[in-house]
């Protein structure tokens, strides 16, 4: 068999006679060389791609591990922040109580105006440099501050008892209805109004129209005015001698924490905020930190 090759780079067509053993051997050798070269290049390329894929997989695995570590660090940091926020909330509640008690003692003790101001922070200063506070030191400082608050609270309670000569101040004892209407739900065990079985009612509900006035059951100092989970808008008043009253689900609060209020003074308006089925006032009375039945104070007449 003869093959004629014609190309521009050839001066004349070339004829290959495959009948010649030498020509056939050279041709087959050339073909084998071309195939071997192509196979070698393909194998090397496949090997390079495999190494690249392995490197990519390794980097992806490292990134996934780093992401897991980062997520864990974020969760741990958030837990620390939540713990600190909870402690700060507890301390704020204690500070409100101390401020209310201090303001009451200032008024009862007939101290001069401006001698004690519980609405402003005392002046502080210094030239020292500051640095970041480690979370452990911060929690330790909060523990120390809480102990100081507890000690100050005990001291103020003793002072209050001395000022009142260990007698109840009638102006600071809850008396009368804090809102117009009738008692729609009493204190103690009852059927949950949202159909979740039995529940212990911590106060009484007074059925009133939205916007009706809410008045202080006794004189005292507002220790809290704001929103609480489930209660909606809330006003809490510290009356001294262990008495505290709470007014909840208000459509509006008309007093602020730190305000001194008189018995019968307007402090808010009836509403249905928070966990409520309709317009009413939820009223609680606490004595020495424990809820008591408010009904025994409603029938009392001031003075």
Q: What is the DSSP string of 88-109?
A: HHHHHHHHHHHHHHHHHHHHHT
Q: Which residues contact 188 (CB under 8 A, 6 or more apart)?
A: 200, 201, 293
Residue 58 lies in a domain: no
Top pLDDT among 264 and 127 is at: 264
- Counting residues of the chain whose pLDDT is more than 70, the rounded percentage is 55
Among 216, 203, 218, 174, which residue's Cα sits nearest to residue 280?
203
Residue 140 lies in a domain: no
Boundaries of domain holding 184: 171-298
Predicted confidence (pLDDT) at residue 98 exceeds the cutoff of 90: no
Residue 21 lies in a domain: no
Q: What is the mean pLDDT of the chain?
A: 75
| pLDDT at 280 (0 to 100) | 92
Q: Report d(CA 104, CA 97) in Å as an integer.
A: 11
**Tokens representing 296?**
């025994």
We report the CATH number of the domain holding residue 218 as: 2.70.70.10
| pLDDT at 184 (0 to 100) | 84
Residue 226 lies in a domain: yes
| pLDDT at 7 (0 to 100) | 47
Residue 102 lies in a domain: no
pTM score, two decimals? 0.49
Top pLDDT among 178 and 202 is at: 178
| pLDDT at 158 (0 to 100) | 60
Residue 262 lies in a domain: yes
Residue 157 lies in a domain: no
Confidence of residue 239 (pLDDT cuts 50, 70, 90): confident
Mean per-residue pLDDT, 92-115? 63
Helix axes 135-163, 21-108, angle to 10 degrees: 20
Residue 179 lies in a domain: yes
Predicted confidence (pLDDT) at residue 252 exceeds the cutoff of 90: yes
Number of domain units in the chain = 1
């Amino acid at each position: 068999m003869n093959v004629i090759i014609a190309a521009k780079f050839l001066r004349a067509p070339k004829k290959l006679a495959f009948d010649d053993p030498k020509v056939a051997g050279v041709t087959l050798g050339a073909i084998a060389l071309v195939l071997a070269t192509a196979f070698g290049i393909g194998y090397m390329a496949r090997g390079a791609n495999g190494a690249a894929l392995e490197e990519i997989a390794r980097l992806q695995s490292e990134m996934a591990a780093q992401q897991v570590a980062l997520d864990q660090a974020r969760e741990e940091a958030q837990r620390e922040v939540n713990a600190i926020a909870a402690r700060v909330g507890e301390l704020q509640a204690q500070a409100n109580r101390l401020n209310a008690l201090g303001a009451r003692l200032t008024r009862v003790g007939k101290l001069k105006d401006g001698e004690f101001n519980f609405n402003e922070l005392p002046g502080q200063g210094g030239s020292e440099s500051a640095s970041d506070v480690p979370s452990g030191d911060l929690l330790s400082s909060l523990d120390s501050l809480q102990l100081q608050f507890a000690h100050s609270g005990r001291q103020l309670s003793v002072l209050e008892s001395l000022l009142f000569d260990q007698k109840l101040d009638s102006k600071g004892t809850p008396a009368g209805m804090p809102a117009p209407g009738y008692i729609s739900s009493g204190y103690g065990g009852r059927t949950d109004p949202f159909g979740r079985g039995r529940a212990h009612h911590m106060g009484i509900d007074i059925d009133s129209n939205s916007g009706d006035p809410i008045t202080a059951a006794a004189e005292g100092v507002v220790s809290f005015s704001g929103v609480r989970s489930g209660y909606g808008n809330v006003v809490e008043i510290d009356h001294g001698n262990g008495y505290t009253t709470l007014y909840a689900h208000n459509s509006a609060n008309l007093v602020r924490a730190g305000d001194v209020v008189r018995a019968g003074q307007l402090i808010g308006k009836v509403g249905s905020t928070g966990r409520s089925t309709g317009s009413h006032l939820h009223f609680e009375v606490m004595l020495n930190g424990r809820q008591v039945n408010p009904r025994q104070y409603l029938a009392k007449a001031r003075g």
